[in-house]
Structure 1
Amino acid sequence: MTPAARRPTAHDGSVPRKPTAPATTVPAATVPDRTVTDDAPASGTAVSVRGLSRSFGPVRALTDVSFDVPAGEITALLGENGAGKSTLLKILAGLQPPSEGTVSVFGEEITSFDPSTVLDRHGVAIVPQELSLLPDRSVAENVLSGVEPGHRWFPSRRRMLERTGELLAGMDLRLDPAAPVRSLDLATQQLVVVARSVARGCRVLILDEPTAMLTPAEAERLFTLMAGLKAAGTTMLYVSHRMPEVFRLADHIQVLRDGSHVASWRNSETTPDQAVAAMVGRELGRFTRRTGHSPGPEVRPALKVRELSGRRHREVSFDVRPGEILGVAGLPDSGRVEMLHNVFGGEKGTGGEVELLGEPYDRRDPIASVGRRLAFVPGERRAQGLLTTMSVGENVGVLTTRAFSRLGLIKRRPFDRQAAEQARRMRVKTATMDQPITSLSGGNQQKAVLGRWLAIDPGVLILDEPTRGVDVGAKAEIYEQLFGLAEKGLAILCSSSDLPELLTLTDRIAVMSEGRVVDVVNTAGATEESIMTLATGAVQAA
């Protein structure tokens, strides 16, 4: 057990509660005390990786990676975006073969790298970030996909429902086996994927950023399920950028950097700061709260919102002044995301007024917002932020094409120079500006999208989930960029489901509940608990 003094803490200093496992448990395998990976797999080893390398043409994604995953325990795999984690997970799950090296599961080497073989023969399953479910089919049909009871072509629906019900009950999941998956929220769909893996005889479960899109309450459901699976002897490999989760859940920690394995610890033998330093190759220090900035009521707001109403929000009012970072907090159904889209013009509102840079802004739409220097970095990066068929340079420079166009033709050289310079300012790590934007890590994609909007020299910047799916190194760079922009006088409106992030980034926080702003609080005096109390409606604002 990690000493309490070394546990990650919340802003009030409390230690996150460990999930409670079901009463019936299976003793975990005994794991040797070691911090350096040996040449031979240790006893009680579920997965043994030896000399693993993977190349994509001239690009080396993994180089001579070797480590063990102890059986019956949770091992966290850490690394910045681009460190090679995704490539390694795909190899372990059979989605792609290695260029060199071996992978063994419970002593048997994997010789055929395809997902079905790796799952059916070796018992390795993955819960990916992009869930692969059949939305129009029932929970039972998804859980028992490939192992349906009855005739191969005519499975028994009654037996499917019964078997799924028994499986879900054994995992302490209260789900209707007959419910269509489409009707479930994202967190519950994720649990269905886990149940499907268990139904297929999974012995090793890989979870790739499983809480990236979950609320704290939804994450707790997942953690409780993980505790039950661990007690039953399931080995888990857990990938997350969230250090409190890692140090709460994991028994062991493995770190990748630049495609190489650089560190291996038991949880009790390291600290979050040491783990982060191993990930990024340098000490980042702690993120400190932004405090002490108050433009004062005499400073004219860069963005003034009055009685704004629309889908899932109504009568929302707030101001953002130059040089200020105003946060927006609220539960997923609070209407905060829809409100941001309404301000930007991505959604049509039903009432209210917006004043932008001292002028009324009534007929809002995204194209007009670009012309009015209102920038918006959306929370759904892949679905709403990236131009997935275009290059890095085209993604960064797309909003400035008019400045480099003549008679409908783009002057490529000045356009490319400007995009490259903007990418350099944002510290986007890319081999060339011509490579696909989808080939970049999540953190570099996010910096590219932010750079695209900063290229229009905005007067107001709106961000939704600015560091979702971003590693700690990229997060530190994005925070640094936002602090610098505010210092230069940019007004920033930032919504996030990550309360520690809002407490770090902002000067004030507008808390939304059931579509309304219930209070605007000074960040210096706020805590996660006080914000959540307002967001849940437990106590009304004074």
Structure 2
Amino acid sequence: MATLPLPDDSGPTMSKQMTPPPAVIIRGLSRSFGPVRALEDVSFDVPVGEVTALLGENGAGKSTLLKILAGLQPPSGGSVSFFDREVTSFSPNTMLTEHSVAIVPQELSLLLDRTVSENILAGVEPGNRLFPSQRAMVQRTIALLDELGLRIDPRMPVRELDMATQQLVVVARSIARGCRVLILDEPTAMLTPAESDRLFALMARLKAAGTTLVYVSHRMPEVFALADQIEVLRDGKHVASWRADETTPQQVVAAMVGRELSELTTRAQSGARPIPASGAIPTIAINELSGTRHSSISFELHPGEILGVAGLPDSGRVEMLQNIFGATKGTGGTVTLGGVPYVNRTPIASIEAKLAFVPGERRAQGLLSTMSVGDNIGALTVRAFTRLGLIRRRAFDRGANERAQALRVKTATIDQPITNLSGGNQQKAMLGRWLAIEPRVLVLDEPTRGVDVGAKSEIYEQLFALAAEGVAILCSSSDLPELLTITDRIAVLSEGRLVGIVDTASATEESIMTLATGAVSTAA
């Protein structure tokens, strides 16, 4: 695999004299957590005024590197320099005030009950900081937003903004503090295509103004549309560097996973779709189900079938799944499991009925963030390993470890905190938790959000294997290529109603979006 060599410091050439020095110089960077080596001797440069994509599988060391660059943790060895000035003190405030570096994290830190202007200018308010002029703050915010090409009401409470606009507020806040290097960590993971386009337009403006952007994403089309430079980490090491126009997605993926990733055969191509016998009892049947943001939804799901759920963010997809599982109370309709009415739905009752639900918001709704990897995986099996009020710890840990290995969860030990794992490995651990109850029905929301291409392929293969064993799978996703890859049929919701169920083999992204936007509906 061809890679670009690191810059040679042996002597200047004409081309080097004409090329501006890098915005960021990383040399020999390492970081250890006890015996675990998260980064090892990482070296590369980030060109000034460009977009550099930082890529790698979950667990490759990207998050650790970003935390170092943002000053959230120091390295164990090596050095980082911004604009030829080496960092000697690692803290977010030092990075911003002394090196003009800021990060837009996946979990946004905003004052939700304060206004847009109060968030953007927090700490740099005009006038007296104890009694800042609200009028002056609004005027300065308007000027900054105009400069960035953003139309946001500076007087609006941030809580009332959608996720995409909140993200833009974080970017504007960084620019207001003189940021020259902006790090964006998976910024489009929770955005619609239209919302992503707003972010991309802002990135183009920032780049044109000379801001250096470091961009982390698992979405190859985005990377090749936005990036000038691509840097790849694998297993904590820097393994490849390219100009974006001198490589291909296939080369980049091979560098990320350390091998050529074979093309995954879709469900439609494999011919694996089960054909239920006439009069066969469905594993789960939904009839006229209604609740928050959804109404009168009906469909059936048979053993071994994978049914996708598509729709815009406000279509009621998530609320419908929560209603089925019993996480929220519905207002009408019925759920039947194996021909038996399922009444009084609650999460505990669903677990006993072997109805599993992997939520899309893993950090807010799924992870037991203060517990270990093993405890997260085995959380639903504690009763099975408890005797006379005491947990048989060795057997419990053995079971959790076997599930972690089966799903290829990358962890030095299952005793380490779940928060130490990458997003993709956290997702696989959560999937392992629910598979431990041996479900008849597996309900998933955004199963591969924030997951790298290698882990995504592994999750797909796991879902196919479960379907082959007869598990009925209901999968909601905002990623239409994902639904077209892994499903047999796709149910499309629009404004809380089921507007069509289409065969995946004949569906396209355009046909699904036509239904989702309410342009046309088909009989289910």
The reply to whether TM is greater than 0.5 is: yes
Equivalent residue, structure 1, for 2:329: 348
Equivalent residue, structure 2, for 1:474: 455
In structure 2, the residue corresponding to 1:137 is in which secondary structure?
Answer: coil
Equivalent residue, structure 1, for 2:362: 381
Equivalent residue, structure 2, for 1:458: 439
In structure 1, the residue corresponding to 2:259 is in which secondary structure?
Answer: coil
Quick check: 1:422 aligned with 2:411?
no
Equivalent residue, structure 2, for 1:535: 516
Question: CA separation of 1:107/1:202 partners in 2, compared to 1, >3 Å: closer, same or farther?
Answer: same
Aligned ranges 1:130-169 → 2 under 5 Å: 130-169=107-146
Describe the superposition over 1:176-235 as per-residue Cα deviations: whole angstroms up to 9, x where unpaired: 111111111111000000001111111111000000111111111101111111111111
Describe the superposition over 1:101-154 as per-residue Cα deviations: whole angstroms up to 9, x where unpaired: 111112222222111221122211110111111111110011111111102322
Equivalent residue, structure 2, for 1:333: 314
Deviation of the 1:406 alpha carbon:
2.0
Separation in 1, partners of 2:26, 2:392:
50
Equivalent residue, structure 2, for 1:177: 154
Separation in 2, partners of 1:406, 1:96:
43
Separation in 1, partners of 2:490, 2:154:
41
Quick check: 1:75 aligned with 2:56?
no
Conservation of the 8 A alpha-carbon contact between 2:287 and 2:296: yes
In structure 1, the residue corresponding to 2:23 is in which secondary structure?
Answer: strand
Deviation of the 1:454 alpha carbon:
0.9
Which of 380, 393, 399 aligns to 1:399? It is: 380
- Give the root-mean-square deviation of aligned CA atoms: 1.4
Separation in 2, partners of 1:94, 1:391:
26
Separation in 2, partners of 1:422, 1:57:
24
Separation in 1, partners of 2:522, 2:148:
40
Which deviates the most, 52-61 or 334-343? 52-61
Which of 403, 410, 420 aligns to 1:439? It is: 420
Quick check: 1:295 aligned with 2:275?
yes
> Percent identical across equivalent pairs?
73
Conservation of the 8 A alpha-carbon contact between 1:329 and 1:510: yes
Which of 251, 259, 263 aligns to 1:274? It is: 251
Which of 10, 33, 36 aligns to 2:5? It is: 36
Separation in 2, partners of 1:40, 1:87:
27
Equivalent residue, structure 2, for 1:262: 239
Q: Give the residue type in structure 2 aligned to 1:508.
A: R
Q: Give the residue type in structure 2 aligned to 1:190.
A: Q
Conservation of the 8 A alpha-carbon contact between 1:273 and 1:285: no
Equivalent residue, structure 2, for 1:237: 214
Equivalent residue, structure 2, for 1:200: 177
Q: Give the residue type in structure 2 aligned to 1:81.
A: N
Q: Give the residue type in structure 1 aligned to 2:470.
A: G
Separation in 2, partners of 1:59, 1:407:
37
Conservation of the 8 A alpha-carbon contact between 2:38 and 2:64: yes
Equivalent residue, structure 2, for 1:247: 224
Separation in 1, partners of 2:497, 2:285:
16
Equivalent residue, structure 1, for 2:296: 315
Q: Which structure 2 residue ranges, 5 or more long, are not aligned?
A: 11-15
Deviation of the 1:297 alpha carbon:
5.5
Quick check: 1:514 aligned with 2:495?
yes
In structure 2, the residue corresponding to 1:75 is in which secondary structure?
Answer: strand
Q: Give the residue type in structure 2 aligned to 1:168.
A: L
Deviation of the 1:449 alpha carbon:
1.0
Conservation of the 8 A alpha-carbon contact between 2:59 and 2:410: no
Q: Which structure 1 residue ranges, 5 or more long, are not aligned?
A: 1-33
Separation in 1, partners of 2:8, 2:93:
29
Conservation of the 8 A alpha-carbon contact between 1:295 and 1:322: no
Equivalent residue, structure 2, for 1:12: none
Separation in 1, partners of 2:415, 2:93:
35
Deviation of the 1:39 alpha carbon:
4.3
Equivalent residue, structure 2, for 1:101: 78
Conservation of the 8 A alpha-carbon contact between 2:186 and 2:218: yes
Conservation of the 8 A alpha-carbon contact between 2:304 and 2:472: yes
Which of 71, 89, 103 aligns to 1:112? It is: 89
Quick check: 1:86 aligned with 2:66?
no
Conservation of the 8 A alpha-carbon contact between 1:357 and 1:459: no
Conservation of the 8 A alpha-carbon contact between 1:295 and 1:323: no
Quick check: 1:284 aligned with 2:261?
yes
Deviation of the 1:355 alpha carbon:
0.6
| TM, length-normalised to structure 2 | 0.95
Equivalent residue, structure 1, for 2:353: 372
Separation in 1, partners of 2:306, 2:86:
53
Separation in 2, partners of 1:379, 1:357:
26
Deviation of the 1:271 alpha carbon:
0.8
Q: Give the residue type in structure 2 aligned to 1:108.
A: R
Aligned ranges 1:26-65 → 2 under 5 Å: 35-40=4-9, 43-44=19-20, 45-65=22-42
Q: Give the residue type in structure 2 aligned to 1:460.
A: V
Q: Give the residue type in structure 1 aligned to 2:4.
A: T
Equivalent residue, structure 1, for 2:190: 213
Q: Give the residue type in structure 1 aligned to 2:353.
A: R
In structure 2, the residue corresponding to 1:503 is in which secondary structure?
Answer: helix
Equivalent residue, structure 2, for 1:14: none
Q: Give the residue type in structure 2 aligned to 1:35.
A: L
Separation in 2, partners of 1:414, 1:91:
38
Deviation of the 1:95 alpha carbon:
1.6
In structure 1, the residue corresponding to 2:357 is in which secondary structure?
Answer: strand
Separation in 2, partners of 1:397, 1:112:
40
Quick check: 1:408 aligned with 2:385?
no
Separation in 1, partners of 2:447, 2:111:
30
Q: Give the residue type in structure 2 aligned to 1:289.
A: T
Separation in 2, partners of 1:375, 1:287:
25
Equivalent residue, structure 2, for 1:363: 344
Q: Give the residue type in structure 2 aligned to 1:347.
A: T
Separation in 1, partners of 2:30, 2:387:
48
Residues paired across the two proteins, number: 509
Equivalent residue, structure 2, for 1:486: 467
